Amino acid sequence: MEAIDTKCLIIGSGPAGYTAAIYASRAGLAPILYEGMQPGGQLTTTTEVENFPGYPDGVTGPQLMDDLRKQAARFGADLRSGVVTKVDFDKHPLEVTVNGGELIKARTVIIATGASAKYLGLPDEQKYAGMGVSACATCDGFFYRKRVVAVVGGGDTACEEALYLSTLAKKVYLIVRKDYLRASKVMRQRVEDTENIEILFNTNTEGLYGDEVVEGAHLVEYLGTDQERHYDLPIDGFFLGIGHHPNTDVFRPYIALDEHGFIALPGATTETNVPGVFAAGDVADPRYRQAISAAGMGCRAAIDAERFILQG
């Protein structure tokens, strides 16, 4: 099969990928974008988005991503279905294999593959996705003002989510399977000092219940011991706080990653350790993980790619 040549290849189709495609197209780079296994990214599983600028009345996640996709297409971005299965960044032009066979040769590559939230693996998590189950307190916490929610996890991520939700919700339960918090001392102290956060140690989640939306969680305390106790906890929202897994596995042989697997950006730009390869969005952002910050990084990555080509 004959290779396809392009000035700019974009891998991923969330806010970062589509925004990169908009800017790269307007710069005349004629980018090719592969949308991956979940076109539109994580936002396609979110019901209401109220914090993305330009939508004063809010917008659904799928509608927002469809708008971004249409804008990228309007400027001529070549949007394709496909999953990257192999890369060779030792060569120039850079080589990327899609769907196990199609070979792309690119002068620049923008990685915008995002990060996937870690879940407990319960069937109910998918059943109630967007209907009470969330992996982003900053995104969805507003909908639970004066209500009762639970956060699962015992590390810094869970504590940060619980603290944020405590400013909005009437009551926050922190469900911790161990008898201690793994979080840093400062985070532990903040959680313990917050009146409307209650920590449920030695507790596992068995499932969720509710007619159409989450109404409560099935919990078990002291699992596997003679103190084992099963009970139901009425809640309105169930938040995952056990971290995110960056989608970087295919790039590991070439791209420098941090200790958690996120792409490390060595300088002030979006360029990785490999010349001509740039990263944008959650795949390189373990801190903010917001649609608007991802879009901003997509803009930066496209501008960086354009300048790289002009200097080449």
Instruction: With a cut of 90, say whether residue 295 has pLDDT above it.
Output: yes
Q: What is the pTM of this model?
A: 0.78
Q: Residue 294: which residues within 8 A CB-CB, separation 6 or more?
A: 14, 15, 16, 19, 112, 114, 280, 281, 282, 285
User: Looking at residue 284, what is its pLDDT?
Assistant: 97
Instruction: With a cut of 70, say whether residue 193 has pLDDT above it.
Output: yes
What is the residue type of 172?
Answer: V
User: Looking at residue 57, what is its pLDDT?
Assistant: 92
List the single range of 32-46, 61-75, 131-145 with lowest mean pLDDT: 32-46
**pLDDT for 100-121, tens place per residue?**
889 999 999 999 999 988 899 9
Alpha-carbon distances, residue 240 vs 84, 125, 243, 267, 293 (angstroms)? 28, 10, 8, 32, 21
User: Looking at residue 100, what is its pLDDT?
Assistant: 80
Alpha-carbon distance of 59 to 260, in angstroms, equals 32
The CB-side HSE value for 231 (13 A sphere, CA atoms) comes to 10
Q: How many CB atoms lie within 10 A of CB 154?
A: 24
Nearest to 115 by CA among 263, 247, 240, 19: 247
User: Looking at residue 188, what is its pLDDT?
Assistant: 94
Q: Residue 57: which residues within 8 A CB-CB, separation 6 or more?
A: none
User: Looking at residue 264, what is its pLDDT?
Assistant: 97
pLDDT (average), residues 153-162: 90
* Portion of the chain with pLDDT greater than 70, in percent: 99
Alpha-carbon distance of 188 to 140, in angstroms, equals 23
Instruction: With a cut of 70, say whether residue 277 has pLDDT above it.
Output: yes
Cα 182 → chain centroid = 22
User: Looking at residue 300, what is its pLDDT?
Assistant: 98
Higher pLDDT, 101 or 149: 149
Instruction: With a cut of 80, say whether residue 45 has pLDDT above it.
Output: no
pLDDT (average), residues 296-300: 98
Positive/negative CA dihedral, 256, 258, 262, 264:
negative
* pLDDT band, residue 138 (cuts 50/70/90): confident
Q: Residue 129: which residues within 8 A CB-CB, separation 6 or more?
A: 45
Phi–psi pair at 88, nearest 5 degrees: -135, 100
Q: What angle do CA 278, 283, 289 make, to 5 degrees?
A: 120
Most confident of 128-137, 154-163, 165-174: 165-174
What does pLDDT average to over the chain?
Answer: 94
Most confident of 154-163, 228-237, 283-292: 228-237
- Whether the CB-CB separation of 41 and 244 falls below 8 Å is answered with no
pLDDT (average), residues 23-50: 87
pLDDT (average), residues 90-98: 95
**pLDDT for 204-232, tens place per residue?**
999 999 999 999 999 999 999 999 999 99
Alpha-carbon distance of 136 to 123, in angstroms, equals 19
* pLDDT band, residue 65 (cuts 50/70/90): very high
Pairing of strands 94-98, 84-88: antiparallel
Pairing of strands 94-98, 102-111: antiparallel
User: Looking at residue 61, what is its pLDDT?
Assistant: 87
* pLDDT band, residue 77 (cuts 50/70/90): very high
The residues annotated with a catalytic role in the active site are 136, 139-140
Alpha-carbon distances, residue 54 vs 59, 67, 296 (angstroms)? 10, 12, 14
* pLDDT band, residue 157 (cuts 50/70/90): confident
* pLDDT band, residue 1 (cuts 50/70/90): low
User: Looking at residue 51, what is its pLDDT?
Assistant: 86
Beta strands in the chain (DSSP E): 4-11, 32-34, 48-49, 59-60, 78-80, 84-88, 94-98, 102-111, 115-117, 133-134, 148-152, 171-175, 197-200, 203-209, 216-221, 229-234, 237-240, 244-246, 277-279
Alpha-carbon distance of 103 to 84, in angstroms, equals 10
Instruction: With a cut of 80, say whether residue 47 has pLDDT above it.
Output: no
